[in-house]
Copies of this chain bind each other. A is one copy, B any other.
Amino acid sequence: MRIIALDDTSMKDILTDLLKRDPNNYGEYENTVREIVERIRKEGDTALFEYTRRFDGAAMNPASIRVTEKEIREAMKEVDPALLAVMKKSMENIRRYHEKQIKNSWFDTQPDGTILGQKVTALESVGVYVPGGKAAYPSTVLMDIIPAKVAGAERIVMVTPPGKDGKVNPVTLIAAHLAGANEVYKAGGAQAIAALAFGTESIPRVDKIVGPGNIFVALAKKAVYGHVSIDSIAGPSEILVIADKTADPRYVAADLLSQAEHDELASAILVTDSMELAEQVSEQADSFLEQLSRRDIIRCSLDNYGYILVTDSMEQAVETANRIAPEHLEIVTERPFEVMTKIRNAGAIFIGEYSSEPLGDYFAGPNHTLPTNGTARFFSPLGVDDFVKKSSIIYYSKEALKKAHKEIEAFAEAEQLTAHANSIRVRFEEEE
């Protein structure tokens, strides 16, 4: 891996490079996606089946598009029982962590009879997109569905593209079944997102769509945003490790490579104040690389978006992490909790040398659907909050409104909204 002594110029270049991966920059596909979305909205199933034939090579009809109980039973036979046991353990951890995120409705009273508060209500229906293709990522299925279940969503609808044989990946199906999906439909791409947003004859409209996908899925989610809610638009994955000379270079190198294997756009960055560690990690990375099955992808992503940045101080290392706002941040320093207090921008923070990033991907419980590509500046990990909405509660007694009515009328008049003022005034006009 390349080693760079960090200064303002190299920092700017790196930030520019990283942002090239932004899924929001692929304007060239926007018109295609818009056309797909509009056709699904107008034509429903007809357009959906046509796109599924064209893009997935599968013939679907109203009877075959929904996964049946029988298909689930058959899929169950194909899944390794050992994997099933691990998934169940992982599910338990995910559920327990997310249950701690549940927020109550609340209210506050005043002696004059005023009640103000917030009513928290689960979304009624949630759509979960799961990509198809060769690899199945059951961990993502668990991470997307369980928080919605914990929040209390009544109807969880999963969509995933069918293979040419009209079947969906059995592991994906079983993960969805275990996690509690109520309905699974064989549809993928922008057309599946549009179907969830507007509804078709076969697929119900939902309130929110979550889950990762390719560029067409990402752009379709953005296109339907506002008609439904969406989780953030997922970009390529990143890891940033802050380490000092006390870190074990083998662990750091292994963790960097673990993110680099996701795809060619993934980014792995070490920031350290120790040139010695920098050199050791670089060597270790090279030596691991030879043994890893996905070495071609890793090499490509490290060449493009992998960096070992050497800083003058740990303060500069922390500042660098905050500027990059990585999806995954590992802190492997002498006093990692002290460093954590200074982190403003990161999706998930892994603290200490035994909190390796894949622990979070699979097992610990916190969600692995995290803000990518610098969006940790303003987006949060997927969680229970994503599957509830709030309503303000306002109750004023006659006494309380009477105390305030002249002020409210004055404010409304100042904004020239005289019907607003009138609605307060009529309640007291007979008394004056």
Contact = CB atoms under 8 A, between A and B. Distances in A.
A394 B351 contact: yes
A182 interface: no
Interface stretch (A5-13, A187-195, A271-279, A370-378): A370-378
A39 interface: no
B138 A116 contact: no
Contacts of A359: 394, 396, 401, 404, 408, 424
A349 interface: yes
Contact of A389 (B377, B390, B398): B377
A119 B408 contact: no
For the side of the interface on A, what is the size category? 35 or more
Given A394-B351, A415-B136, A343 B410 contact: no
A390 B381 contact: yes
Interface stretch (A46-54, A62-70, A79-87, A309-317): A79-87
Interface of A is mostly: mixed
A394 B139 contact: no
A379 B229 contact: yes
A33 interface: no
Contacts of A294: 416-419
Q: Which of A251, A255, A392, A426 has the most CB of B within 10 A?
A: A392
A350 interface: yes
Given A254-B419, A358-B417, A360-B394, 18 more contacts: A83-B410, A83-B414, A86-B407, A87-B411, A121-B344, A136-B415, A260-B419, A261-B419, A292-B422, A294-B417, A294-B419, A351-B395, A354-B427, A361-B412, A366-B392, A376-B391, A378-B389, A383-B390
A108 interface: yes
7 contacts: A118-B383, A229-B379, A251-B426, A354-B396, A354-B397, A356-B427, A358-B412
A73 interface: no
A170 B346 CA distance: 39
Contacts of A304: none
A24 B89 contact: no
A329 B391 CA distance: 10
Interface string A324-342: 0000010000001100100
A267 interface: no
Interface in A223-256: 225-229, 232-233, 250-251, 254-255
A124 to B, nearest CB: 7
Given A392-B370, A415-B138, A410 B225 contact: no
A354 B392 contact: no
A66 to B, nearest CB: 23
B393 A340 contact: yes
A207 interface: yes
A31 B410 CA distance: 42
Given A378-B228, A381-B391, A391-B381, A135 B415 contact: yes
Contacts of A371: 389
A394 B366 contact: yes
A100 interface: yes
Interface in A95-116: 97, 100-101, 103, 106, 108, 114-116
B389 A423 contact: no
A385 B415 CA distance: 28
Nearest to A239: B423
Given A83-B414, A351-B394, A394-B350, A380 B375 contact: no
